[in-house]
Amino acid sequence: MAERFASYTDLHVLPLGADVGAKLWRAVVNPLRLLLRLRRDDLVYGSLPGQLGAWLFLPTVLVLRLRRHVFYLHHHSFRAVAIGPLRAIALIERLGGAWLRHIMLCERMRDGFAALYAKGRSDHIRVMPNAALYSAVERGEIAPRAGEVRFGHMSVMTEEKGVPYLLDLWAALLAQGCEGRLILAGPIPDPGLRARVEAAVAAHAGRIEWRGPLSGAPKQQFFDEIDLFVLPTKLIDEADPLVLLEAYARGVAVLAPDRGCIRGRLISEDWLMSMAPAGDVALLAGKLAQVVAERQSLPSAVQAHSERLNLAAHAAGAALFAELGAGPETVAGILGTPR
């Protein structure tokens, strides 16, 4: 967002601080700067700080309220809705009053936030999916798939991202005689989980593969190799994961649970995981069979779905940036051409 703003206006960034001391300092300095230097025609935009940082953001909200200055607060986490109402968020909403505008990632996020914090009122809440800023996803030609079925998972691999659960599902499928390969990609910060992944790789030689962190061409190769992407996330903050857009853009179908905005991103609800082991083993087995049976048609349908997501997000992004003061030509330069 900072890059987009810098393309059409002067940009002044007020950091929130990287450590506790800096965060406390910024919780005092930033409001004072806004109190003393804010001009009437300045656009104020912020990204909602996570967890305890929301409390430190309250003085900034209070100053903007006292200055009677409209400001925009971008929400990138579903936490406030998933486990809300949260007191700090409720106070931000109350202090911001008529001057606060929220930016949410999907309609479900908007409606949930409105119900929890705004008595159902949503006229001050805007929606802009992540796909609006992700129109440069490379679709290109769909890579042909043949031979054994392959499904994959890519993330900063943690328990919250569902990696242990995915290993359990694959072990159950192997015990049922399922043929194919699971390909994992991404760093594993936790030594215990890394040991478990390495043990699974060794125990099922050739049937589980871990490629570590990927970027650039190896990342594209990962998506071009797999038939199905599985994201069994349990993360409270999970909202609008970009990796789903990356998978769809390469013609890869996605299985994921009903977290955050995911339900509205999937091609249909029969790709929703229940996060109940028995049901998800059966679902995964059925979808692995389906992606192989439909290798000639499903990737194109999935890629077309990614185009629809992008078009809808592009329209939402254009409306938001126009409200934020960007002219039509500038909006086109910011968002590019939907594709």
The percent of the chain in helix, strand and coil, each rounded to the nearest 5, is 50, 10, 40
312 alpha-carbon distance from chain centroid:
16
pLDDT tens sequence across 20-39: 899 999 999 999 999 999 99
Under the banding of pLDDT at 50, 70 and 90, the label for residue 17 is confident
Given a cut of 80, whether residue 297 has pLDDT beyond it is yes
Contacts of residues 203-211 at CB distance under 8 Å and 24 or more positions apart, as own/partner, are 204/170, 204/171, 204/174, 206/181, 207/170, 207/174, 207/180, 207/181, 207/182, 208/167, 208/170, 208/181, 208/182, 208/184, 209/181, 209/182, 209/183, 209/184, 210/184, 210/185, 211/183, 211/184, 211/185
pLDDT tens sequence across 322-331: 998 888 888 8
| Average pLDDT estimate for 244-255 | 94
Q: Which two tokens stand for residue 103?
A: 């930016």
pTM of the model: 0.93
Residues 6+ apart with CB under 8 A from 338: 135, 307, 310, 311, 314
CB 186 within 8 A of CB 213: yes
CB 89 within 8 A of CB 80: yes
Under the banding of pLDDT at 50, 70 and 90, the label for residue 139 is low
CB 247 within 8 A of CB 171: no
CA distance 294 to 292: 5
C-alpha dihedral over 6, 133, 143, 273, to 10 degrees?
150
pLDDT tens sequence across 80-95: 999 999 999 999 999 9
Residues 6+ apart with CB under 8 A from 339: 135, 139, 307, 310
Given a cut of 70, whether residue 204 has pLDDT beyond it is yes
Q: What are phi and psi of 227, to 5 degrees?
A: -95, -25
Given a cut of 60, whether residue 312 has pLDDT beyond it is yes
My answer on whether omega of the bond before 241 falls inside 30° of 0, hence cis, is no
